[in-house]
Amino acid sequence: MNLKQLSELLGLSQTTVSRALNGYPEVNEATRERVLQAVKETGYRPNKAAQRLATGKAGSIGLVMPTAPGHQSDVHFGEFLAGLGEEAVRHDFHFVIMPADPDDEVAALRRLAISGNVDALFVAYMRGHDPRLPMLKSLSMPYVVHGRSFGAEPDYPYLDIDNEGAFYDATRLLLQLGHTRFALMNGPTHLDFAIRRRNGVISALAERGLTLEEDCMSHALMTDEQGLLAMERFLQLPQRPTAILCSSTVMALGAIRAVNQAGLRLGEDISLIAHDDVLPLLKPESFSVPLTTTRSSLRAAGARIAQRLIGTVKQTGPFPEQELWKTELIVRASTGPAPS
């Protein structure tokens, strides 16, 4: 069933039917009713491809999903997607997901943009001096970046959390508890949030005249295993750190295993603060020793970005170009006074 058939069925022109469907004012209310009724009976749905070709609008937002044969899937991605979805479903938007090798991101993003399949782009996993940024700017398609790109002029639309502030505050809390030997388990070096979190830790330490030694810093994929490995390394250091900052509850999982295996007690021998993206799977309050965390919901961020993106496409009201969300510092049992 297409527009032509439907209009013939109704004895109307395609024009009128189309207008009735799209809420144009110049069609008689009685006619509109008749059209709507017929739609209900026939189950007619406009062909999206045709609609897109005619209007240029697709009703969809595009994103690139990093993937490769060995590439671990990322819980954070799924959670973010859930946030996007929650908002998108309310506006009848959908997503076009282009899987791409992480090395091919810039090209994949460009392909997606000029494919005509999407109205707007969402970009994540930002790096320092991210090469996608200049590309996006040249594209004349709305986009919102999740995170920021360290070193780049902040003149692009983004939503980010205050990573530096979060880790600064967390570090200060540990300092106040008397800790002096710190370690940081961070995400991959090139990622923007990792850079900022490191800076947060370093600047809080600097205020007390402390520094973060190279061997007390780990940059790795934010997985369980890497958490375990990093913590094992820390624990073997001659001057064992007593205060650990950790970029993810996923890593914390492994880290805590290492602590237990070493026969140490979390919250007593070792204090740990992790960043919590509010993953349904990993509730910090459910850990055997509940985790002190800096918290910011990834899902909420997804929903907000979807809102901004869809709003921009539909031209409903202006949105702030840049948003920086504060995180919450929630103290639980994994932090305690420095052991004497």
Positions touching a copy of itself (CB under 8 A) are 43, 45, 47-50, 52-53, 58, 60, 65, 67-69, 71-75, 77-79, 81-82, 84-86, 88-89, 94-101, 110-112, 114-117, 223-225, 228, 250, 253-254, 257, 260, 280-283, 286, 288, 299
If the CB atoms of residues 56 and 320 are measured against DNA, the closer one turns out to be 56
Give the strand pairing for 120-123 and 60-66: parallel
Report in angstroms how near the CB of residue 299 gets to a copy of itself at its nearest.
Answer: 7
Q: Which of 37, 42, 54, 107 binds DNA (CB under 7 A)?
A: 54
Does residue 46 interact with DNA by CB under 7 A?
yes
If the CB atoms of residues 22 and 37 are measured against DNA, the closer one turns out to be 22
3-state secondary structure of 236: coil
Does residue 4 interact with DNA by CB under 7 A?
yes
Interaction residues for DNA, span 107-166 (CB under 7 A): 116
**What is the phi-psi region of residue 176: left when phi exceeds 0, alpha when psi lies from -120 to 50, beta otherwise?**
alpha
| CA nearest to 93, candidates 117, 57, 60 | 60
Does residue 37 interact with DNA by CB under 7 A?
no
Buried residues in 160-193 as b, exposed as e (16+ CB within 10 A): bbbbbbbbbbbbbbbbeeebebbbbbbbeeebbb
Does residue 36 interact with DNA by CB under 7 A?
no
Does residue 260 interact with DNA by CB under 7 A?
no
Q: Which of 9, 33, 37, 53 binds DNA (CB under 7 A)?
A: 53
Q: Which of 23, 29, 92, 176 binds DNA (CB under 7 A)?
A: 29
Q: Do the Cβ atoms of 98 and 65 come closer than 8 Å?
A: yes
**Dist CA 246 CA 171 (whole Å):** 11
What dihedral angle (degrees, nearest 10) is formed by the CA atoms of 272, 276, 278, 283?
-10
Cα 61 to Cα 135, 146, 184, 213, 286, distances in angstroms: 17, 14, 36, 43, 35
Residue type for 219, please?
H
Cα 306 to Cα 1, 57, 95, 121, 248, distances in angstroms: 32, 16, 10, 10, 24
Report in angstroms how near the CB of residue 225 gets to a copy of itself at its nearest.
Answer: 8
If the CB atoms of residues 12 and 109 are measured against DNA, the closer one turns out to be 12
**Residue 199 binds which entry of DNA, a copy of itself, none, with Cβ cut-offs from 5 to 8 Å by kind?**
none
Q: Which of 19, 127, 132, 146 binds DNA (CB under 7 A)?
A: 19
Give the interface with DNA as residue ranges (CB under 7 A). Answer: 2-4, 11-16, 18-19, 21-22, 26-29, 31, 45-47, 50-51, 53-55, 116
